[in-house]
Structure 1
Amino acid sequence: MGGVSQTEQPRPRRRRRPLRWAAGFLVLVAVAGYFFVQRASNGGGGTPYCTASVDPMDVGAGQATGQSYEMSPEQAANAATIAAVGVSRGMPDRAVTIALATAMQESMLRNLDHGDRDSLGLFQQRPSQGWGTPAQIMDPVYSAGIFYERLEEVKGYSRMPLTVAAQKVQMSAFPQAYAKHEPDATVLTTAFTGGGHLTCTGPAPARAGDPAKVRAELSRLVGKNGPHMLPAAPGGTAGAPADGTAREAEVTLVAKGGDGEAARRSGQALAMWAVANSRELGIARVSYSLSAWIAGADGDRWRGKDAAGAKDGAGDPRGAPPGQIRIFVRA
């Protein structure tokens, strides 16, 4: 019988998987290096990002303790709005967590102008189902507010599993999908309402902001539902800070009715909102609760009073006393 002898059989081709693995590894290293350089240079124009963190010593955050959640400035601004609206309405932390987890599932915290059928916005609410007009739903303050209104109508929602409470509001086709966002939503809630903080890196504002717009947005957030922080009367333009940056116009919020727990939560939520919206509104620095956040090179941390560079622990002259938030807009 004819055939190919053993000596005539073709040699098996050498496998080059190690080389492919090595090449793939080098590509991953190059990509990681690129993003590291971007992050390292964001004080001078790299890719901005925001991080919500839970204070390591906070014992009230449960599983969120010591964790963080990273997002884009757009996502941070929307998350901060959801939290600030909830706090200003007197909603408990559990309600804020439910709202944030819902928006994370429905839109990944982006204000979408499209969706399934006529769904729109952060919560993918439908005009045809009585959620409001398209213009209203595309307003994050409105959409968060009406979500909380519907949630308040759910009796005992704070004792329900998050998926059940969210589903009673949303009537989603995939109710269990909300569950996977609960840990991250808990981190966000803790950062926005106490026991944590938000930082946003990136270059300091290059163009002047509008203090009147900042004041108007803050007034919309606190609304008319018994706010605990109110924008003070318009102030003047502050001089150039000691670090040589541009002149700033101040917007101040003052606690209403003392400095109790409600005012503290409201102050925390609105201060973090200012940080999240710093890029969009031209906010150069935020002072609250004996600490300050400064856009630019120091945007990845909050500085304590004694770290502001003043002698004898006097702190930053732009520091905020108890019961106040001071927001400085580039003038």
Structure 2
Amino acid sequence: MRSTRGRLTFAEEEPRRGPRWIARGLILTLVALVGLGAWFGGRNLFDSVMGPRCQATAAGNTVDFDPEQMSNAATITALALKRGLPARAATIALATAIQESKLRNIRYGDRDSVGLFQQRPSQGWGTVEQILDPEYSTNKFYDALVKVDDWENGTITVVAQEVQRSAYPEAYADHEQEGRILASALAGHSPRGFACRLDDPEREADVAMIGRLLDNEYSLKPTAGDGTLSVTAPNDQIAWSVASWSVAKAIDTGITGVTIGDRQWTRSRDSDAWTWQEAESPAPARQVLLHLT
């Protein structure tokens, strides 16, 4: 179409308006993307600040992970103690699992790698089903670790690489401090160094699961009481390890509180859940009381 009486027809307007509309569309798209990113960023920040979270503190340093990650960290640490290994073993295993899977029991990875330590069935670590069992995969890691010459004194990069054969061995060292803090708090070397802020449990505490996990990961058997389970530890350090482990496992088991000595952790989303409060009814020496209601 052509111009008529000084007015431009649609055919003549289109070339001029097109670039403007494209620019506006790009701007609107950019604004939408920025807004979406801000929403997700704000949600992640909210979850990290206000959502369920766990903290481990040792020597004045603190690390935090979500409850799922801390539950796996507790298993890794407990099995080191069960095997009579020093905290150094747990530090190496935790740093490795942080690097390999971010302490998540994932079902995917490079080639056929799966699980906390990204172990490969094709390399003889076990079946996929076995490796996806955190207790099995952790024990397989320790089986390989103790065969490394001078693993107790070697640098974490060298020792972890001997076990894992990673393409990026230097990355293990990046998580050594996190591993140390987690190992110290969860192994009982830093009493009151572990706590979680959690939602109320969705179901009743699973007594059978608690008993099975304590047996598998500590070789300890609880005694049932009135709304509690009592665990007797061989010494104060192991007692604090069991107490911290019980807090970490509360997300899985439904535990609502833990008492050790004159201190008690009570499940809550309040800030009080970050600390061990004074217990109304102290527990006997070397005993840990797990509250189920």
In structure 2, the partner of 1:275 is 247
Distance 1:321 1:159, change over 3 A: same
Q: Are 2:109 and 1:135 equivalent residues in the alignment?
A: no
2:229 aligned with 1:265:
no
Q: Distance in 1 between matches of 2:211 and 2:99?
A: 31
Match of 1:81 among 75, 82, 87: 75
Partner of residue 150, structure 1: 144
Aligned pair in 2 of structure 1 residues 286, 105: CA closer, same or farther (>3 Å)? same
1:288 deviates by 1.8
Deviations 1:209-231 (A, max 9, x none): 121221111111124xxxxxx22
User: CA separation in 2, counterparts of 1:179 and 1:163?
Assistant: 6
Q: Could you say if the C-alpha distance between residues 106 and 34 of structure 1 is closer, same or farther in structure 2, counting changes exceeding 3 Å?
A: closer
Gaps (5+ residues) in structure 2? 1-33
The residue identity in structure 1 corresponding to 2:54 is: C
Residues 94-152 of structure 1: CA deviation (Å, up to 9, x unaligned): 11100000000000000011111111100001111111121111111111111111111
Matched, 1:300 2:293: no
Cross-structure match for 2:98 = 104
Partner of residue 195, structure 1: 190
Q: 1:231 aligns with which of 221, 224, 230?
A: 221
- CA shift for structure 1 position 49: 0.8
Residues 103 and 34 of structure 1, relative CA distance in 2, 3 Å threshold? closer
CA contact (8 A) 1:164 1:175 kept: yes
Give the structure-2-normalised TM-score.
0.80
Q: Which residue of 2 aligns with 1:3?
A: none
Distance 1:39 1:158 in 2: 35
Which of 143, 153, 163 is 1:159 aligned to?
153
The CA distance in 2 between the partners of 1:30 and 1:133, in whole Å, is 37
Identity of aligned residues (%): 39
Residue 286 (str. 1) matches residue 286 (str. 2): no
CA–CA distance in structure 2, aligned partners of residues 284 and 52 of structure 1: 19
Question: 1:32: Cα distance to partner?
Answer: 5.9
- Say if 1:213 and 1:34 are closer, same or farther in 2 by CA, change over 3 A: closer
Q: 1:251 to 1:181 in 2, by over 3 A?
A: same
Residue in structure 1 matched with residue 112 of structure 2 by the alignment? 118
1:20 is matched with none
Do the aligned partners of residues 325 and 175 (structure 1) sit closer, same or farther apart at CA in structure 2, a change above 3 Å counting? same
Give SS of 1:157's match. Answer: coil
Distance 2:53 2:222 in 1: 30
Q: 1:30 to 1:176 in 2, by over 3 A?
A: closer
Alpha-carbon distance, 1:255 to partner: 2.3
Q: Aligned with 1:325: secondary structure?
A: strand
CA deviations over 1:16-68 (Å, ceiling 9, x no partner): xxxxxxxx9xx9799669945x677x5xxxx21111112xxxxxxxxxx2110
1:168-218 Cα distance to aligned partner (Å, 9 max, x none) = 111111111101001111111111121252111122324211212211111
- Which residue is 2:11 aligned to? none
**Aligned residue among 211, 229, 232 for 1:254:** 232
- Corresponding residue for 2:203? 207
Q: Is the 8 A contact 1:52 1:191 kept in 2?
A: yes
The root-mean-square deviation of aligned C-alpha atoms, in Å, is 2.3
Alignment match, 1:7 = none
What TM-score comes out, normalization by structure 1 length? Answer: 0.71
Quote the residue 1:326 is aligned against.
289
| Number of residue-to-residue matches in the alignment | 254
Which residue among 171, 179, 183 is the counterpart of 1:177? 171
